Amino acid sequence: GDTMVTVRGDIDNVRIFTVHKSTLCAASPFFRKALNGNWKESRENSIPLSDEDPKLSKVYVHWAYFGAICVDSHIWDGDRVSDALPLCRLWVLVDVLQDTAVKDAVIDVLCKCNYFLVKDIQYIWNNTTA
């Protein structure tokens, strides 16, 4: 069977997700490199995403399996974005994970935002190299 990988979603390792290795590697060059080769993550089949909000890790795992962004309805109700910051934070995470498909999907959702706050734009600016 497919190897299972532990994705630790916060600093205290309270939020742990068990995910198929092939699913993560198919979605993300970051995971593909980290989980193959002579790396600690590969030997332990465990990836820390401790710098990230565990909710973002959960959204990413859902994307990896289903190809859909699933966030709270108070953020995005399918038609309208009411809070762009969580989506900006998700975009930064998937930028690190080098997953261009979900980056494009997040941008598509953000295009439905009626306005952006300065803090939303600053978050992306301060946390990416692009």
Q: What is the pTM of this model?
A: 0.83
Q: What is the mean pLDDT of the chain?
A: 84
CATH architecture of 4-127: 2-Layer Sandwich (3.30)
Residue with the larger pLDDT of the pair 87 and 52:
87
When mean pLDDT is compared over 10-14, 98-102, 112-116, the highest value belongs to 98-102
User: What pLDDT does 73 receive?
Assistant: 66
Segments making up each domain of the chain, as ranges: 4-127
Q: What is the pLDDT of residues 25-59, one digit of tens each?
A: 999 999 999 999 888 888 888 888 756 677 888 88
Q: How far is residue 103 CA from its own chain's centroid?
A: 9
Mean pLDDT (whole number) for 61-70: 90
Residue with the larger pLDDT of the pair 117 and 10:
117
21 confidence band (pLDDT: 50, 70, 90):
very high
65 confidence band (pLDDT: 50, 70, 90):
very high
User: What pLDDT does 112 receive?
Assistant: 80
